[in-house]
Amino acid sequence: MVKTGKKSFSDFIKEHSIILGILLLALILRCYDLFSIPYTHDELSGLLRTRFGSFHELIAKGVKVDGHPAFVQVFLYYWTGLFGTSEWIVKLPFIFSGVGGVYFAYKIGKRWSNVTVGLIVAAIIATSQYPLMYSQIARPYTSGFFFTLWFAYHWGEIVFFKNYARKHLIWFPVAAALCAYNHHFSMLTAGLIGLFGIIYTSRDFLRNYLVLCLAAIILYSPHFTILAAQLKMGGLSGWLGKPEPAFLSHYIYYIFQFSTIVIILYSGIIVWTRISGINVKRNSKAILFSGILFFTVFFTGYFYSIYVAPVLQPSVLIFAYPFLLLFLFGWAKEQDKKTNLILVSAIILLNCFVLVFQRKHYSVFYKTPFKQLVLDVADLYKEPGFAIIFSDEPKTRFYEERGDLWIPGPEQCKFITVPEFTEKDLEALLDQLSGRYDQIYLGATSSLPPSYRTIILETYPHIIWQKNYFSASTLLVSKGKPSEKPIADITKNKNLFNGYNPGKWYDGGYHFEKDEEWGPGYSKELSKLVKRPSDLVDVVVKLKLSDPKQEPLLVLTIQSGDSTIVFQGTPASRHTINQKDSTVTLVQSIKFIDLKYQKLENPTLNTFIWNRDKNPLQILSFRVIYRKDNPLTYGLYEPIVE
């Protein structure tokens, strides 16, 4: 029989069976269908910044230009150089670091409180989508998650338990420095832990503690010049907005998988384990510190984002996330092994059910838009057609260069970017294509303005199919009968338009006389209009101008009480004016998923023509179209409502 110390191997397995089962499950969930896990936008961006001929060039062009410290970028540079860029091989170290984080969360929970706390926290981290997903992404989140817990474990041994074993004294500065090299928020988290250590450490060890902190700073010092360059970049205001007051409550709902049942289970566990079980001595100071640490990290990021530059998003809180769990569950009394097994089983079963069937992790996360946008083109060429793709072209070309897929040439496919490719450009392209092709393919990430899709559907109104992915959709459209009927059409149901004057409709249009500024419009309360938060509304108006230089505006607003929440205006000059008959088609679109209308007081959609020039004008058609859109647009970070 194989012996491990004084206990046999079988005894070791039996004694630690629950945590070993949790770790095995954590690995299985993260490695499920390993060869199909795709790259995300951030991963492709990172990989494209490893294509340099020297380390110096990597730092200058691949690290300093980015907002992240050097560790992950340098690691990817050498790792892909050795093993290539296959998704599974690139992600594997990050998957293992995620499982390692589960282990250290268990060790900290057990050491700072008791074995029940360690098992509960480990089970939650092992099976929740938030830490699981970031374990499958080769970016500095799960690595920092591991480094932070690794550092916190050795720090806790020194500070809370006065355990000055050599391994703790060595790994303390090493792990702290790796946190700093990994991500600015893992550096912040480790830095705060270090600062709190000055308060918590025993007075007779304080000088040695400060030496350990100094050693960590010295290990990080080669990165000072990179840090200085990156700090000049500011925040992420180019694409990330300031956090809303409800950010924290939304974050907590997010980390609990947007599941009320999960929250009820966790609440029940917190209450039950607080009043029932075995009283063993816990380090209450350490559990309280865990809560202080999480909220200090959160509020630092929150107020920095409000008053300096936006940086706060769920991904950067993952380094402090385990400490929130330790704070919530760390007050539990220790339970017997049978009860621990029941608690862990309940957490695992419910979390896995929510992960697979409600969050749909393995279907939503496992489809990358940059690859799918091209893969779906294959359905187009069963008949003659043309593909329009709105995407970050280098990220899509990455797969072509690697030999994974074929991208049609410019005679069959066009990549577009906005605002470089304007609505006028699209109208001109469609004018050329409409005489040659009966069907068009549109593949677009969610950042494409919805009006572009509306313009395409004016020429090709029949949707043959639409495929939805996280942050992207693909459509095959053709000429023929429109797939959606207007909910309001001034030529058919004039009574739905407020301000409509029957006497002004003649000769096939609604007439604005000279000096007339306002005409008919459409209004609808969103509570009566919106069926699903992921849907959208298109407004399409065809005008006949009395002067090609006229600038009437198609306006769409969202009104809440006396406040205008949204104001969108499309001038005639943004679109192509037919020089033969002076007609122009204006479009407006609004995605409700971007509006967060549920928080508004009785919001109302209004749309109308603003005849700013007050010159004669005709409305030839005025249609409001309600369309079902992509429920998975934000499906990894928001509830999925289909």
Strands 3-4 vs 509-512: parallel, antiparallel or unpaired:
unpaired
With a CB cutoff of 8 Å and minimum separation 6, the contacts of 260 are none
CA distance 453 to 441: 11
Query: Which neighbouring-strand residues pair with 388?
Result: 414, 442
* pTM: predicted TM-score of the whole model, two decimal places: 0.93
Strands 583-591 vs 536-545: parallel, antiparallel or unpaired:
antiparallel
pLDDT for 377 equals: 87
In what helix (H) or strand (E) does residue 9 lie, and over which residues does it extend?
A: helix 9-15
Alpha helices by DSSP H, listed for 476-584, are 526-529
Q: CA angle, corner 457, sides to 579 and 539, nearest 5?
A: 80
pLDDT for 2 equals: 45
Sign of the alpha-carbon dihedral angle for 152, 158, 162, 168: positive
Helices 184-200 + 206-220 axis angle, to 10: 170
With a CB cutoff of 8 Å and minimum separation 6, the contacts of 516 are 611, 614
CA distance 521 to 518: 9
Half-sphere exposure of 98 (CA within 13 A, CB side): 35
User: pLDDT tens for residues 430-463?
Assistant: 999 999 999 999 999 999 999 999 999 999 999 9
CATH 2.40.110.10 at 488-627, yes or no: no
Print burial letters for 439-465: b (CB count within 10 Å at least 16), e (below 16): bbbbbbbbebbbbbbbbbbbbbbbbee
Asked if 430 and 593 touch (Cβ cutoff 8 Å), the reply is no
**AA identity, residue 526:** L
* DSSP state for residue 259 in the 8-state scheme: -
Asked if 391 and 474 touch (Cβ cutoff 8 Å), the reply is no
515 Rama sector, left if φ>0, alpha if ψ -120 to 50, beta otherwise: left
Tokens describing residue 554: 């198609």
pLDDT for 1 equals: 43
Q: Torsions phi, psi of 290, nearest 5? A: -60, -45
pLDDT for 4 equals: 46
Low-confidence ranges of the chain (pLDDT < 50): 1-4
Closest CA to 591 of 635, 536, 630: 536
How far, CA to CA in Å, does 431 sit from each of 336, 428, 455, 553? 74, 5, 11, 23
pLDDT for 213 equals: 98
Tokens describing residue 264: 């009820």
Question: DSSP for 501-513?
Answer: -GGGEETTEEEEP
Asked if 372 and 42 touch (Cβ cutoff 8 Å), the reply is no
CA distance 290 to 532: 39
In what helix (H) or strand (E) does residue 473 lie, and over which residues does it extend?
A: strand 472-478
